[in-house]
Each structure stands twice: as C-alpha cells, then as structure tokens.
Amino acid sequence: MPDTLELVRQSGVDVVSSGDLIQRFSAVWNADRIASHQRASDKLYRVKDRAFEASGAPALRDGISTTEYDIQQLMAGWFRDEGLVTDSDPNVSAAENSGNPHYLPTADGAPDDSERRNRSCSTSGASSSDPGAVFADITWMGYTGRASA
C-alpha cells in the first residue's frame, strides 16, 4: 500500500517542501540575534587563539608536553570564563584523530602528543547563556612542524 505522500502525488498534486516558508518566518535573525552570534563568535576566536598559544610553537620550543585532553580542558575552562554554553566539550585532536569529526579526547586515553604536528581545535558550537542567543561554530587546523625546505 502506498504511503500518504504517494497517494497525494497520485492525485496529480505537485508536492514541494515547505522548508523555505517555515524558515522565512521562524528562523529570521533580528538585530539582537545577529549581535549575539557575533559576540559568541568573537569569544570563540579568543578561545581558539589561547588554545593555539598553549599548544603551538612556543610550547614545543620550550619543551612543554601537552595532550589533546589537556588543551580540551583548558578550552572548556575558557568557555566558562567567557560565559559560553555548549552541548559538549570542544574537540581537540591531533594526527590521525584530527580526521575523525566524532572524536573527543578523554583523560585516560590521551597519549602525549608533543611530537604530533597537526592539531585541530573545534569548538563544537557555543553561545552565550542569554535567552534566544544564537550559536557560533568555528574549526581551525594548526601546524606546529618545521617549514618545509
């Protein structure tokens, strides 16, 4: 037996999505929402910059060993400091883990990655805790190896 949609189509009606119509009236950002998105984005960029500083060239030059989990926990703390809320801790991954969008480091499974060269920092989306605030999401990949000759 055909489903309801097929029965409607069989009657000669052209079925189209109402997604654009729904979005037009329910997902329009007003000036306050645009501003909340920009504030969240600005905060995420500050957190990203701090994470790159904590895990980048100065840390490697000074022999500071870090793990994916170490940097993730720093970022989670900076999220709180910035007043950001999110549905999960940031994704910080290195080497083979950086290709897995569902990877999250853990305290007991975080190998020393001081020798790993590629590290990505993903925020997983965050917003302020204000009612109606709009999430922002950024993903950056850093390289801490030597420049190629």
* CATH number, domain with residue 66: 3.90.230.10
CA 76/CA 82 separation, integer angstroms: 10
- Residue-range definition of the domain harbouring residue 132: 33-143
pLDDT of residue 146: 65
* Rounded average pLDDT over 99-110: 79
- Mean pLDDT (the chain) is 79
Produce one character per residue of 78-88: b if its CB has 16 or more CB atoms within 10 Å, e if not: bbeebebebee
Residue 140, pLDDT > 70, answer yes
Residue 134, pLDDT > 60, answer yes
Tally of structural domains, the chain: 1
- Indicate the pLDDT class of residue 73, thresholds 50, 70 and 90: very high
* Rounded average pLDDT over 121-148: 73
pLDDT of residue 110: 57
Structure token digits, residue 123:
């925020």
* Rounded average pLDDT over 99-126: 65
Structure token digits, residue 102:
């569902």
* Position with higher pLDDT, 85 vs 109: 85
CA 76/CA 91 separation, integer angstroms: 10
Contacts of 75 (CB under 8 A, 6+ apart): 47, 50, 51, 89, 90, 92, 121, 123
Q: Is residue 20 part of a domain?
A: no
- Indicate the pLDDT class of residue 38, thresholds 50, 70 and 90: very high
pTM: 0.72
Q: Is residue 27 part of a domain?
A: no
pLDDT of residue 28: 78
